[in-house]
Structure 1
Amino acid sequence: MATDDSASTTFDSDEVKEMYCEECEKHGDGYTPAVAFCVDCVEYKCVTCQKYHKRQSKTHKIQDSDSMPQDFYFEKCPTHPQQLVKFYCSECSKEACQECKDNEHDKCSDVNHLPTLASGIQKSSDLKDLQQNLDRLSEEIKDTESC
């Protein structure tokens, strides 16, 4: 990732953002911190919403705050400005909010939750290879500039 001389540099994407309950936000109840994530609904839930969700949807898989994915993409949908883009459709090569996913990509078979897609990328060999190539290219640029 970063070379030794830029190890202290931080980027906006490095910030840890708090996840908020999507149910509360949808219904105008403000921003309540999320303590769980429903894998089936692909939604973050606060304590209260999680409690009621468990009663209503007993078979849904719920992840607690330690294991729930951390969203990193905070772009609003151009079609539905009240919604965050949270999905990626590999078939259409397009991003989608929940509404777009339900309406425009309902027939697509390869629509995934962005944070779930990206999980584990930090440890992937592809990322390590990319980092090594970038470091090598950076050194070559320095060498070229000095010539």
Structure 2
Amino acid sequence: MAQAACKTCEICENAPGSHYCVECEQYFCEKCKIFHKKKQNISKCHMFQSALDVIPAGKSKCKEHTDNFDFLCKTCNVPVCSSCVTDIHNGHKLSKILDSNSELKEKNDQELRQKIKDATSNMEKVEQGLSSFDEKVDIVIKAITDEGTKLKAMIDKHISQMIESLKDQSKKEKDKLTTIIAQNKNV
């Protein structure tokens, strides 16, 4: 079924017509609906439905017979009135429009539930991927830190060896100079 575009309340003409009076075939806003249903004796028993479930304006009556559409011809996939059932659509597979709406609503609900389930599953996969990504980042950070620690240890060891080597050379040179000074004093 096609859905009605956003209609304006046909009474106050200011607010969106989110409710449809089946008897009056008019769109009402919430305030006007309350007034129509509760404040006026003549329309207290009128039935309302959501404006989204209404066949678009101009399509709620059969053009040929000017009767309300009561059925959906499943063979032709079009709404039909009771006169069309015995005329053009005689022998076709039919269902009541309200039943068809219920079937479509159930089908849409099932499809929506499946899409929500799929979206939830996809979100869980993304969350797992993020968690796995964080774990891998932590592993790389640990590897970098470990490598840095090894490099620092190697540099510290190399510096210690250079200092030790310098001290050894310095001691040898000092010992030579001390020996030369001692020999010169004897002379």
Tell me which protein shows more helix as a share of its residues.
2
- Identify the structure with bigger relative contact order (alpha carbons < 8 Å, sequence gap 6+): 1
Instruction: Say yes or no: TM over 0.5.
Output: no
| TM-score bracket for this pair, using the shorter chain length | 0.3 to 0.5
TM-score under structure 2 length normalisation: 0.31
Specify the structure having the higher radius of gyration (Cα): 2
Using the size of structure 1 for normalisation, the TM-score is 0.38
